[in-house]
Structure 1
Amino acid sequence: MLSFENVGLRYGVGPETLRDLTFQIAPRSFQFLTGPSGAGKTTLMRLIIMALKPTRGLINIFGRDAATLETDEIADARRRIGVVFQDFRLLDHLTVYENVALPLRVLGREEASYRSEVIELLKWVGLGERKHSLPTVLSGGEKQRASIARALISQPKLLLADEPTGNVDPTLARRILRLFVELHKSGTAVVIATHDLSLMDQYEAARRLVLADGRLHIFE
């Protein structure tokens, strides 16, 4: 699904921020991406979604060399990747239902073709009674679950989540992790960037990718 081969990233003329990254994310796999603050977890995720280009090395995504993709091909590849942002990035003037449905609207689908999908997904993340609410009245945990639903509505092959439990209490963090595990078991590859060791300890079947000093260490 995705592979990095000797990838390095340098900003300007300074030292490499990330160097010699070589790893694979297999279909239907689950991994935690961790490391100290400033280690480059978010930067690595931006490389995966092609928001950044590496200084050197090869990134292969869905069987294609990312460096060879045209603009429309990059957009198509991104549609197969769901992203849960740490700051939610919900649109305050849209309801929860409208926020979650937005990726499908952008694709040009008629509401009649996706309404039931959105409603069922909102029920799955525990927001069935909040579909008409605006983000401004939601709790942090509800915003996070709405962000997760929006990332999932397009049925991505790969889901990236950047500190998805950083703004919620431990009980809700466990619930959110269970959502990701269920998604993984249904066939989606999952990468969760987190510094929460207690969260990772709750799913020991996951592989751990540890960033430190610009390098990646893998623990199966």
Structure 2
Amino acid sequence: MIHFDNVGLRYGMGPEVLRDLTFDIPQRSFQFLTGPSGAGKTTLLRLLFLSLQPTRGFIRIFDRDIATIDPQELPLLRRRIGIVFQDFRLLDHLTTYENVALPLRVRGREESTYRTDVIELLKWVGLGERMNVLPPILSGGEKQRAAIARALIDQPEILLADEPTGNVDAPLARRLLRLFMELNKLGTAVVIATHDLSLMDQIDARRMILSHGRLDIYD
């Protein structure tokens, strides 16, 4: 699905913040991306989401060399990737339902074609009774689940999650992890960036450890 070959990234004339990254994200795989704060986990997720371009090396995604992709094609490729940002990025003037449905509205779909799917997904993440509530009223954990539902509504082939359990308590973190595992069983490749070792210890999954700009992988 995704292949990195000797990828490096620097900002301006500064030193490389990521260097010599060579790895694959296989179809239907599940992996944790971990490492100390400031190691570059979010930056690597941005490369995976095609919102950053490497300064050297080679990246293929969905059998496409990103160096040769027309910029106008990038939004279409990104629709195949779901992402959960650390700061949620919910729109405060839209209800939970409207936030989750937004990617489908942007694509021009009629509400009648997706309303049932959005409601079912909100029930699945435990927000069935909060679908008409605005984000400022939601708790941190509810906002997190709304952001996850929004990332899932378009049935992505890959899900990227940046510290998805960072703002919730341990029981809810376990619940969210089970949600990601169920999604993976349905065929979505999952990459979870986290520093929570207790979370990673709950399942046998690949670990990608980023430190000083370099990546070590333990299957």
Tell me what 2:153 maps to. Answer: 153
Q: Which runs of 5+ in 1 are unaligned?
A: none
* Count of residue pairs brought into register by the alignment: 219
- Given the two structures, how large is their TM-score scaled by the length of structure 2? 0.99
Moved over 3 A (4+): none
Tell me what 2:39 maps to. Answer: 39
Task: Specify the code of the residue in structure 1 equivalent to 2:82.
Answer: G
Q: Which runs of 5+ in 2 are unaligned?
A: none
| Structure 2 Cα separation of the partners of residues 13 and 122 of structure 1 | 45
Tell me what 1:215 maps to. Answer: 214
1:131-153 deviations in Å (ceiling 9; x for gaps):
11111111100000000000000
Q: What does 1:129-208 align with in structure 2 at a 5 Å threshold?
A: 129-204=129-204, 206-208=205-207
Partner-residue secondary structure (3-state), 1:182: helix
Tell me what 1:122 maps to. Answer: 122
| Structure 1 Cα separation of the partners of residues 180 and 193 of structure 2 | 12
- Between 1:152-161 and 1:3-12, the stretch displaced more is 3-12
Tell me what 1:57 maps to. Answer: 57
| Structure 2 Cα separation of the partners of residues 164 and 175 of structure 1 | 11
- Given the two structures, how large is their TM-score scaled by the length of structure 1? 0.98
1:176 to partner: Cα distance: 0.5
Task: Specify the code of the residue in structure 1 equivalent to 2:17.
Answer: T
1:191 to partner: Cα distance: 0.1
| Structure 2 Cα separation of the partners of residues 71 and 104 of structure 1 | 21
Task: Specify the code of the residue in structure 1 equivalent to 2:105.
Answer: R
1:14 to partner: Cα distance: 2.1
**Percent of pairs identical after alignment?**
74
| Structure 2 Cα separation of the partners of residues 167 and 84 of structure 1 | 13
1:213 to partner: Cα distance: 1.1
1:12 equivalent to 2:12? Answer: yes
| Structure 1 Cα separation of the partners of residues 113 and 165 of structure 2 | 32
Task: Specify the code of the residue in structure 2 equivalent to 1:123.
Answer: K
Alignment root-mean-square deviation, CA: 0.6
